Homo-oligomer: A and B are copies of this chain.
Amino acid sequence: MAETKIRFGILGCANIARKISRVILLSPNSTISAIGSRSLDKATAFALENNFPESAKVYGSYDAVLDDPDVDAVYVPLPTSLHLQWAVLAAQKKKHILLEKPVALNAGELDTILEACETSGVQFMDATMWMHHPRTAKMKEILSDQQKFGQIKSVHSTFSYIGDENFQKNNIRVNPNLDSLGALGDAGWYSIRAILWAHDYELPNTVTALQDTEFNESGVILSCGASLNWTNDKKIVTFYCSFLSNLSMDIIATGTKGTLRVHDFVVPFNARVGPYFAVSDSKWIGLGCEPEPSEFRIPTVLPQEVLMVEEFARLVGGICFGKAKPEKKWSMISRKTQAIIDAVVASIKKGYEPVEVVY
């Protein structure tokens, strides 16, 4: 039903906004009704280049987007240091918010954003795309299966990619005034989320950063890792995130009965199919071991980015056109992800001491 399409406003012309704009237009229940940039020329060019509908309005400010009654929801790909100001204002203007990660510079800022959303009754979701791939639900079924996987005993997750020379000099992700969390807030957001996801969002009690964090000249994290610990459940859980090594997007999870592996959990190499490897009850047989892990390939007609926007728009539609309340799951898992990021930062600052996770 065309009349129930959620009308997005886009704040800013960041690179990632190109991708998500295409995705909003691909999603069956959303469209773009406005874009705002500090430069009207930039916004005009962006709308043209990205095939915005003719009806879309182009503004020379973010405020104008938030004041537009034809905007139901905003997608916010601004630098992280601007999230507090603009996400709070968007919520106050009753706009539902799809917020790029890292959602805030720290949990205190995020709490302010989430309180504003709560007060205004708007939906909040962070743009963690892989959560919405059907593969993710299939892998979760395995992790939850007491017969096939059992109890979690170890998880290692990685997300790294190479930022080239231009990236290392100019990208907002390595600029201390725009995104001081660097690789931890960007790549680490996903690795940490993977661990929380595997644990049904049960927070660890302590986090210990691993020695040898790498920083750029401005003190922004380019590479780091940490170990996470649960007081009542011993296991070995670690992650690695970096802008300094070739693409890796791995999860290895071992349970008392099974093993799960995925090589591209963040962005499937092939947008139409998400593979993973799983096996249960491995045994030593002769000179080898059996059974061999099976590869499963989960197809998706719509890429995970479209599924994310579709799910967000569905929730927003339920609020705008129905009687639904905002789905709190998404703010809860953002908040927990941020709590771990804060603990990693604190552990690095304390010389790699264990730090309690505050939530």
A289 proximal to B (CB < 8 A): yes
Shortest CB distance A241–B (Å): 9
Mark the stretch among A57-65, A203-211, A317-325 that contacts chain B. Answer: A203-211
In the complex, are the beta carbons of B244 and A271 less than 8 A apart? no
**What's the least CB distance linking A308 to chain B, in Å?**
12
In contact, B247 and A257 (Cβ under 8 angstroms): no
Question: Which residue of chain B has the shortest Cβ distance to A153 in the bound complex?
Answer: B245
Residue of B nearest to A155 (CB): B240
Instruction: Name the B residues within 8 Å of A248 (CB-CB).
Output: 154, 252, 254, 259
Which residues of B have CB within 8 Å of A282?
A: 161-162, 246-247
Mask of A258-293 contacts with B, CB within 8 angstroms, 1/0: 110101100111110000010111101011111011
A250 within 8 A of B: yes
Binary interface encoding of chain A residues 322-359 relative to chain B, with 1 for a CB under 8 A from any of its CBs, else 0: 00000000000000000000000000000010100000
Q: Are B234 and A214 in contact (CB under 8 A)?
A: yes
Are B246 and A240 within 8 A (Cβ)? no
Q: Which residues of B contact A162 (CB under 8 A)?
A: 256-257, 282
- CB proximity of A15 to chain B, nearest CB, Å: 10
A119-161 interface mask toward B, CB cutoff 8 Å, 1 = contact, 0 = none?
Answer: 0000000000000000000000000000000100110101011
A292 touches which one: B150, B258, B259, B269 (CB < 8 A)?
B269
Bound Cα distance A287, B300 (Å) = 13
Q: Report A171 CB to chain B, min CB distance, Å.
A: 13
Cα-based distance from A234 to B216 in the complex (angstroms): 13
Which of A3-11, A34-42, A220-228 binds B?
A220-228
Instruction: Decide yes or no whether A79 CB sits under 8 A from chain B.
Output: no
B contact residues around A236 at 8 Å (CB) = 210, 212, 223-225, 240, 242
A156 and B224 CA atoms in complex are apart in Å by 13
Number of this chain's copies in the complex: 2
Closest to A208 in B: B211
- Please judge, given known A-B contacts A236-B242, A257-B246, A289-B247, whether A252 and B158 are in contact too, CB under 8 Å: yes
Q: Are A245 and B255 in contact (CB under 8 A)?
A: yes
How many interface residues does A have (CB within 8 Å)?
65
A229 within 8 A of B: yes
Which B residues are CB-close (under 8 A) to A247?
A: 259, 279, 282, 289
| Residue numbers in B under 8 Å from A150 (CB-CB) | 246
Q: Residue A305 at the B interface, CB < 8 A?
A: yes
A289 touches B261 (CB 8 A): no
Q: How far is the CA of A214 from the CA of B160 in the complex (A)?
A: 30
Q: Are A293 and B271 in contact (CB under 8 A)?
A: no
Tell me, rounded to whole Å, the shortest Cβ–Cβ distance linking A218 to chain B: 17
A19 interface hit (Cβ, 8 Å):
yes
Contact B225–A212 (Cβ < 8 Å): no
Given A271-B288, A287-B305: A234 touches B246 (CB 8 Å cut-off): no
Name A160's closest neighbour in chain B (CB-CB).
B254
Quick check: B242 and A269 within 8 Å, CB to CB? no
**A322 and B224 alpha carbons, distance in the complex (Å):** 52
Residue of B nearest to A272 (CB): B288
Interface residues of A (CB under 8 A from B): 19, 150, 153-154, 156, 158, 160-162, 206, 208, 210-214, 223-225, 227, 229, 234-236, 238, 240, 242, 244-248, 250, 252, 254-259, 261, 263-264, 267-271, 277, 279-282, 284, 286-290, 292-293, 303, 305, 352, 354
